[in-house]
Amino acid sequence: MFIPDIPSIIKNQLPDLYDLDPLAHGGQKSVFRAKHMVYQDVVFKLLLDSDERTQREIEVATQYQFSNVPKVYESGTISFAGAQSSYLLEAYVQGETLRTCLSRGKVPLSTNLNLIRTLLTISTETEKRQLVHRDIKPENIILGSDGNIWLIDFGIARHLSKASITATGARFGPCTVGYAAPEQFRNMKSDIDIRADLFSIGVVAYESFTGQNPFKTGARDDLDVLRRTESLVLKPLNIQGDTSNELSQFISTLIDKYPSRRPRTAQQALNWFIDLLPTIKNGNI
Amino acid sequence: MEMYLQFGHGMKEHCKCLFRRWGGGTVILSPRDLTQDQLQRFAKEIIEVNGRILLDPQLYNPRATHSRLTNHDYWPRDFMTGMLLGGPGLNRILIDLRELNGLAQASEYIIPGIYCERVDDDWLAIQESINEEASSVFTDKKRLATICLSSEALRFEEQVETVLSSSELWNVDGYYVVAEHPKDHYLVDDPLWLTNLLILCSGLKLQGRKVLVGYSNHQMISLAAANIDAIASGTWLNVRSFSPDKFQENEDDSPSRRTIWYYCPQTLSEYKPAFLDMGLRVGILDQLRTDISFDSEFADVLFSGALPSSTAFSEQQAFRHYLQCLKVQSVQARKSSFKETLDMQLQILDIAKKQIATFHNVGVLGQDRDFADIVDVIQAALLGLKISRGFVLERQW
């Protein structure tokens, strides 16, 4: 079987790139860490499909700049496997994913508070642009070596004022089970808004405090995870330093299976989170 | 939380008397009980006493048979379900209703809504269609969408949440919620029903829109914890609790069903004068007397020293006393925060519970209007609301 030497193909067409090192390869994209003559450390994403979803990802990445989302330096196309494939060149963030961090156990309180605040802040910005990320999960969160926290991969982001790419009759919407809100995986399009991201942020926070995803732990398979996401009433978190249980209640509110019971907006959620911080002992961030 | 009057049989003089006393008020008119001419004349009288008017189109069941209701111009003739899904038929109904609202000098529109046996796509489609059409016909005043749910629909949290997520997209300024009582009970003994009603109302209010709950009695004072704007109540039980049967021809308001009840606001219970006689006999009648802060002299005759059942305490006084007390309790029920409101509600219920027990011990019973079993129901429902929405309501009030 012919396996193309992707780094050589890229380097031939984009000579400013060098030292390409594979980071991930999936069905739709190949991701490399690389050096660039001008931008220094970069991530090079080759988007192998040129479908509408890919175009939407490029559009989101190039049109908007959000805090704590790696900067996109440039985008374009290269010839690959007899066709034109799109690529994105993004800033490389030195650090590790939250998933890697969680593989060692729970995340410390101060990191967790920083994580929640960062994700909510990003959501306030995406909310203003009518974007829903729809894939907030530990694999897409990088804990930077400099202490900053970053959100990556807007691959299945939804622009609320644009036509949906997912077929209306599709039983399930694009998502990662265990992190997606019920209205998202049930593809209830009219119900999907920033509150779906707030749900995912709540799940990530819950997992960071306990070390375990509340819906995936003990589930037989993905369908069981979905069923549990819709039916499980989560045990309130017992967080050290959360003297008045406000943080625990806040996270429970984010993870409520009904969107009407979550904060209505990301800005509201962020405000409430900032307001409760003084109630947390040793919760300085 | 305000209290509006829900117009029903024989309520004209009560409305005028109470509005004069209150310096104004709002009444929800009932086409079932008023012809177009009566409605127009009565509206003028209400406005003269500084009253505001809303008009309930009562299109809960377009196949209703009550002749006074179905004789109104707006009532659909040759009804077909498809008519409510849009098109000229629906447009005609709304244009006629706009005219009737104009004659009644209504201050806001109540958009018709059909009774919902079960929240499903069909019911939602009809609601959306009516609300959408109303947005192009009712353009000169605010619009309240009717949400009329069966007792069964209100038992299911998922159905309530479906109403909440769908209603967010309706182009309306508020809601007129009408909730069928289970088993036609006046006082509802199902905590799940009340919890879900609280969740529905608080969710609608969190949308930043007005919420008015019709066909209410004193059990609905608890809706203050959902931060709603108003409840509406009236004289007879068929305007203090909702049943779709009210709109059938065979429903009457005959005097034979009438019994006089005294409402005791501190126990949230109603008593027949014969049971007040028991209170007099054992020397605790004064404890049943309504506190002066309720500003109701309507029932004073019961506490004049004579045997209560032998006094001239009339049906008219009983109704006015009830509505006067309910208004005061409604206005006082909502505080400046969820926590304060909830704490006060729970405290009132605790006090009522203790006092009811004292009265029971001496044979003063409210029979089927006794609140003893209802106190627990409301307490459970309020705690259910706190668990489901407490965090949000404490921050968004």
Distance from C-alpha of B86 to C-alpha of B88, rounded to nearest angstrom: 7
Q: What is the mean pLDDT of chain A?
A: 89
Residue A204 reports pLDDT greater than 80: yes
Q: Do A264 and B391 touch (CB under 8 A)?
A: no
What is the model's pLDDT at position A281? 87
Residue A153: per-residue pLDDT = 86
> Which residues in chain B have their CB less than 8 angstroms from residue A252's CB?
391
Give the closest-approach CA distance of A217 to chain B in angstroms.
24
Q: Establish if A261 touches chain B: CB-CB under 8 angstroms.
A: yes
How far apart are alpha carbons A20 and A5 in whole angstroms? 11
ipTM value for the complex? 0.80
Backbone angles phi, psi at A189, to 5 degrees: -55, -40
Q: Residue A169's pLDDT is what?
A: 64
**Touching check for A190 and chain B: CB below 8 Å?**
yes
Q: Where are the domains of chain B?
A: 2-255, 259-394
Mean pLDDT over A88-117 rounds to: 95
Tell me the shortest Cα–Cα distance from B134 to chain A, in angstroms.
21
Residue A183 has pLDDT above 90, yes or no: yes
pLDDT value, residue A28: 76
Global pTM value: 0.89
pLDDT band at A103 (very low <50, low <70, confident <90, very high): very high
A259/B169 CB distance under 8 A: no
pLDDT for A69: 93
pLDDT over 70 percentage in chain A: 93
Strands, DSSP E only, in chain A?
17-25, 29-36, 40-47, 72-80, 83-91, 95-97, 131-132, 141-144, 149-151, 158-159
Residue A135 appears among annotated catalytic residues: yes
Q: What is the pLDDT of residue B188?
A: 96
A263: contact with B, CB 8 A cutoff: yes
DSSP B263-278: EETTTTEEE-HHHHHH
Q: Where are the domains of chain A?
A: 9-91, 95-279
Query: How sure is the predictor about A168, in pLDDT bands with cuts at 50, 70 and 90?
Result: low
Of the pLDDT bands very low, low, confident and very high (cuts 50, 70, 90), residue A3 is: low
- Angstrom distances, CA of residue B159 to CA of A168, B83, B215: 22, 25, 21
Q: What would the pLDDT profile of A18-66 be if each residue is shown by its tens digit?
A: 999 988 777 678 889 999 999 999 999 888 776 777 777 788 888 888 9
Instruction: Using the predicted structure, report yes or no on whether residue A1 has a pLDDT greater than 50.
Output: no
Instruction: Give the class (CATH, top level) of A95-279.
Output: mainly alpha
Which residues of chain B neighbour A256 with C-beta distances below 8 Å? 388
The stretch A150-175 carries a mean pLDDT of: 77
pLDDT at A159: 83
Report domain A9-91's class.
alpha beta
Q: pLDDT means per 10 residues in chain B (397 residues)?
A: 95 96 97 94 97 96 85 80 73 95 97 96 94 96 98 96 95 98 94 98 97 98 98 93 82 65 97 96 95 95 95 96 98 97 97 96 94 97 97 96
| Cβ–Cβ below 8 Å for B164 and A272 | no
Q: Is the dihedral of CA B366, B369, B372, B373 positive or negative?
A: positive
- Catalytic entry in A5, A16, A135, A242: A135
User: In CATH terms, are A9-91 and A95-279 the same topology?
Assistant: no
CB A251 within 8 A of CB A98: no
User: Using CB atoms, which residue from B168, B203, B391 is nearest to A249?
Assistant: B391
**Interchain proximity A263–B392, CB inside 8 Å:** yes
Nearest to A260 among B203, B395, B396 (CB): B203
Whether the CB-CB separation of B46 and B53 falls below 8 Å is answered with yes
Instruction: Give the distance from residue A261's alpha carbon to the nearest chain B alpha carbon, in angstroms.
Output: 6
Contact A211, A105 (CB under 8 A): yes
Q: Does domain B2-255 have CATH number 3.90.1170.50?
A: no
- DSSP H helical segments within A129-215, as ranges? 182-185, 194-210
Separation of alpha carbons B76 and B148, rounded Å: 19
What are the structure tokens assigned to B218, written together? 């004193």
- CA–CA distance, A33 with A263 (Å, rounded to integer): 37
Question: Is A117 in contact with A100 (CB distance < 8 Å)?
Answer: no
At residue A284, the pLDDT reads: 64
Rounded to whole angstroms, how far apart are CA atoms B76 and B116? Answer: 18
> Which residues from chain A sit within 8 angstroms of residue B165, using beta carbons?
183, 188, 190-191, 258-260
Are B374 and B268 contacting, i.e. CB atoms less than 8 angstroms apart?
A: yes
Q: According to the model, what pLDDT value does residue A62 have? A: 84
